[in-house]
Chain A
């Protein structure tokens, strides 16, 4: 996992003015929600164990709730909480090249992602809306609602990479991940 402070510095630079403050505020709220989802998941599991083994009263809705939360936590988080610098990636190459090469690589990658995710948007929307015919087994929630988080995720990632692309085209170095410091010994 590449979790780095490199992104921090870069962000401090990028984030100036009220617009940036608002974005930072939103990101913190997004993290609150992610932590909240994990907390609810944990409590639901504990309830499930207590109900089944101590009260002899098995409940099904908890396992459905937890699995929905797992799906939402990952996609919500990938859309709004985790920064590019925190995601698991292979950064040996980006860390070892110069600034210009890194910007060029960044542009290529962001462009590819925006194009491919964008191309799948329509079909993904069709799949998710098609799922309205099904309902979840315990909570009876329409599946298109449960799966709608995927569309949120897709659109948020596209928007993020368009923004990244904009910064890159204007010549802002994406910053090497933590490995610049680390690989100095090699």
Chain B
């Protein structure tokens, strides 16, 4: 590691701590590195432009964001929530169970946890706290925790980013996310079932079984969206990026024409909102592309791999260390930054230890997403403070049990790779 690299790293950390947007901080720090090293400062431009221009797979990100925006209309949400309620509302703590189930359903249409919390999560918060059924803090903690499922179950923006930095197939990564995502949902539902008895949570009015076919029929076109997406992906009809476009097109078709819940104005708003989110994530990617050039030029990943190898870490020990490291970093760093900067540094070591890259990716993403509800710096917690208007410490107290079961699920995923890999292997993954 050269002095120039130390300067660059210090500059990036200092600038972002002082409030500079992280993308700009990474570009500025890299420019400093090039200057100190006496290299051509145009390299920053070259890395950014060529990196963005050749990473075709990243185009899936704006399209997934757009698809989720199209699906976010009131009418579609109502139908899906009615469907979830008909299935699990009858149990004790019914609405809490609905909250988890709807997260799983919406997870299969959107790739971002924050989008899920702001969209359907917001509605669940209102439903749960109406008539004082649940405390606002519990509802907010649950909504934050259940939103974590969003980016684990495909589609997933973090997994697309991981595919970029690791050169792994998006299709297999998406398949690998299915079981861990559902597992997260199950542990949460289990926790609710236990808590519901103890705290005497209310039961929702039982929806008669004969109404189930009608409710399912009404929600059916929306429920088909993940089928369209995964169908396109695994039949080999389209590339992953095209599958994202097909999903967005399907979402537009059903919400604009079938459900008639999108006006021209709404479509424009969806486009503008998606564009803004794309720009924010895109700047972070741009910064990471430039900074990763510096990291690679300094040979950091290989040096680390050699260093760790000297310790003769077993793969399991390495995974445990990585999990602890990521959970700690997740308390302070934004998830996308961890994925784009820290993961590429760890990957060569993982590979040298014979850890499957798909397993590693899903585990890392799950960990980073759990970081979204880890105090003190959990973006989902902050979001719920805003939505639910409850103090952060009240939410934190309620979220701790959920955090505990989610970390248990993460441990299970870490130690039993087959849970992650059996689905991709079923569809031809050789790993």
Contact = CB atoms under 8 A, between A and B. Distances in A.
Contact of A78 (B248, B272, B279): B279
B393 A186 contact: yes
Contact of B31 (A87, A90, A119): A119
Interface string B320-355: 000000000000111011000000000000000000
B41 A182 contact: no
Interface string B62-80: 1100100000000000000
Interface in B267-292: 268, 271-272, 274-286
B165 interface: no
B16 A89 contact: yes
B191 interface: no
A126 interface: yes
Contact of A63 (B28, B56, B271): B56
A127 B46 contact: yes
Nearest to B287: A88
Nearest to A28: B272
A87 B282 CA distance: 10
Interface residues of A, number: 71
Interface of B: 11, 15-25, 27-28, 31-32, 34-35, 40-46, 48-49, 52-54, 56, 58-59, 62-63, 66, 114, 237-238, 241-242, 245-246, 248-249, 268, 271-272, 274-286, 332-334, 336-337, 375-377, 379, 381-382, 385-386, 391-396
Interface of A: 1, 31-32, 34-39, 41-42, 45-46, 48-49, 53, 63, 66-68, 70-71, 73-75, 77-78, 81-82, 84, 86-94, 102, 105-106, 108-109, 112-113, 116-117, 119-120, 122-124, 126-128, 146-147, 150, 154, 157, 174, 177-179, 181-186
A68 B49 CA distance: 10
Given A74-B279, A86-B276, A123-B40, 4 more contacts: A77-B276, A94-B18, A182-B381, A186-B376
Contacts of A122: 41
B23 A49 contact: no
B283 A81 contact: no
Given A38-B271, A186-B393, A73 B52 contact: no
Pairs A-B, 6 closest by C-beta atoms: A185-B392, A74-B282, A77-B279, A45-B245, A87-B21, A127-B42
Contact of B334 (A90, A112, A128): A90
A154 B375 CA distance: 36
